Structure 1
């Protein structure tokens, strides 16, 4: 299979897994602090990957050479989650869903300065088209919900958070070297995530409280650990190296669509006419961005 096609399939799979994480995360809401849950996810994912890295010499010798670069990458990755959790204390998931649609545009703009990539006026129109389509899905075609949308303190925090996510996407491409071992980069990114999350626990004085988790909670965390931490970091990093962050982030417009489809499969949640139209608009915008050079 051509490397380019494989990279696109990786992003689609990662987006689908992330879509499932929204539903699983909702079931964990109110158990323990989200920062504590994320630290647990990073630790478990690191422990799963550790034997493969430490027991194989070609991977083991690459640990120290990638440490500094992955600490920078993991700083942006971890800070995004911290910012998102803090934002949700004073804003709604609806607002964050709308603001999240800015990531492809921000990534495109950042790519101009870092990778000298050109953005045409047509592409700016496609970004706007994608934002509109995704917002239709987020607000479920409800005009009253859209008109009631207003920015608050939490929204500005989340806006800063998506800038951090954009920087993670950019640095994961920028700092990757041809002689790097992808599994080591993923492992060290997770280790860096553990370090930054542990620091945030101390700074924000957040208790672990892992003893409060029941069997169902642990199963949900298991999904988040294996599929939306370990797998997605690997899949996104692999795709970023081949496609570049601009095209990888174009798939963000499809995230609400994946959530809606998974919710329909699991909970039989139906999609109204406007949601379906929004998904089609988002899909068209994504395809156009992916076909652009």
Structure 2
């Protein structure tokens, strides 16, 4: 029995499917948590438990990687601040004002923002069809956030939750681009380092929050929400994605990120009972089609370079 389980978990395709499944669940659990805690409280509780869990598992690697971690502490601080703190604070904050379906679909715009940042910061080559893909994906996001009526943007502006989620997307895109400077340490050491940074950044915020709201209350029921985000999106998803990409490469592995909005939207319907409208379907299809087109162009260009 154990051999079959090990064989199953050794499949990069299974690992790269489970990772976006766990990340998609983050939006659903965040929506449930919005009735219990604000964004600061839930993000803080998430990293308290994640640090304890990951630190215990990663302790042997941390001893070996400590000199590299100490030398690159400022890089890790920036990565943790953008990717783990800024993104999650905004995501959980957005869920107080918009649906988990919207948040899930909007996350699909992250590859588009990454492409734009790479072009601006590093003059990375962009092809005509890539630009078309970006336009299609952007229209898909606009359709989602305006409930199928883009004129709302002119008359009323963005819903507060969707606007906050766009800020979250920018944070995670900056984090993703910064990974080119990731220190050469074990995956567990890397995740733990960013989790510790997150906790350190959140300390003054939770202290300020406690002055007005008191300490966040943990009950037998809402404790499961914390356990989910500490184990699945914070630890297992990061680990599975890193291992999957290591086995089949970033180009092939990265496309699995597109499963996040699909899983997130489906779970929002099943778990939260949110209504999946026709504009959600149109927006989701356009976002995925746009990203798929942009990625296909890059893959074709890379294949031509390999053959030449």
Q: Is the 8 A contact 2:105 2:284 kept in 1?
A: no
- The structure 2 residue matched to 1:128, chosen from 109, 127, 135, is 135
Q: Is the 8 A contact 1:98 1:138 kept in 2?
A: no
Which residue pairs with 2:65 in the alignment? 62
**Equivalent residue runs for 1:134-283 within 5 Å:** 134-136=141-143, 142-144=147-149, 146-149=150-153, 150-151=157-158, 158-171=165-178, 173-177=179-183, 179-202=184-207, 207=213, 209-210=215-216, 212-237=217-242, 242-243=249-250, 248=254, 254-266=259-271, 271-283=276-288
Q: Is the 8 A contact 1:62 1:181 kept in 2?
A: yes
How far 1:108 moved relative to its partner?
0.6
Q: Is the 8 A contact 1:101 1:131 kept in 2?
A: no
Which residue pairs with 2:302 in the alignment? none
**TM-score scaled by structure 2?**
0.73
Shift of the 174–151 alpha-carbon distance from structure 1 to 2, 3 Å rule, reads: same
Q: Is the 8 A contact 2:188 2:239 kept in 1?
A: yes
- The structure 2 residue matched to 1:104, chosen from 88, 111, 114, is 111
Question: What are structure 1's unaligned runs of at least 5 residues?
Answer: none
- How far, CA to CA, are the matches of 2:194 and 2:129 in structure 1? 35
How far 1:63 moved relative to its partner?
2.7
- How far, CA to CA, are the matches of 1:231 and 1:195 in structure 2? 22
* Secondary structure, aligned partner of 2:222: helix
- How far, CA to CA, are the matches of 2:19 and 2:173 in structure 1? 17
User: Cα deviation per residue 1:223-269 (whole Å; 9 max; x = unaligned)?
Assistant: 1111111123334555677427x984x66665433222223444676
Give the RMSD, CA atoms, in angstroms: 3.6
Q: Is the 8 A contact 1:36 1:206 kept in 2?
A: no
Shift of the 217–133 alpha-carbon distance from structure 1 to 2, 3 Å rule, reads: same
Question: What are structure 2's unaligned runs of at least 5 residues?
Answer: 1-6, 300-308
- How far, CA to CA, are the matches of 2:244 and 2:124 in structure 1? 18
Q: Is the 8 A contact 2:31 2:95 kept in 1?
A: no
- How far, CA to CA, are the matches of 1:114 and 1:127 in structure 2? 17
Q: Is the 8 A contact 2:27 2:103 kept in 1?
A: no
Aligned pair 1:49/2:64, yes or no?
no
Q: Is the 8 A contact 2:136 2:286 kept in 1?
A: yes
Q: Is the 8 A contact 1:35 1:201 kept in 2?
A: yes
**TM-score scaled by structure 1?**
0.76
- How far, CA to CA, are the matches of 2:164 and 2:269 in structure 1? 31
Shift of the 65–18 alpha-carbon distance from structure 1 to 2, 3 Å rule, reads: same
- How far, CA to CA, are the matches of 1:227 and 1:12 in structure 2? 13
Q: Would you say how many aligned residue pairs link Structure 1 and Structure 2? A: 278
Which residue pairs with 2:77 in the alignment? 71
- How far, CA to CA, are the matches of 2:38 and 2:87 in structure 1? 16
* Secondary structure, aligned partner of 2:26: helix
Shift of the 234–33 alpha-carbon distance from structure 1 to 2, 3 Å rule, reads: same
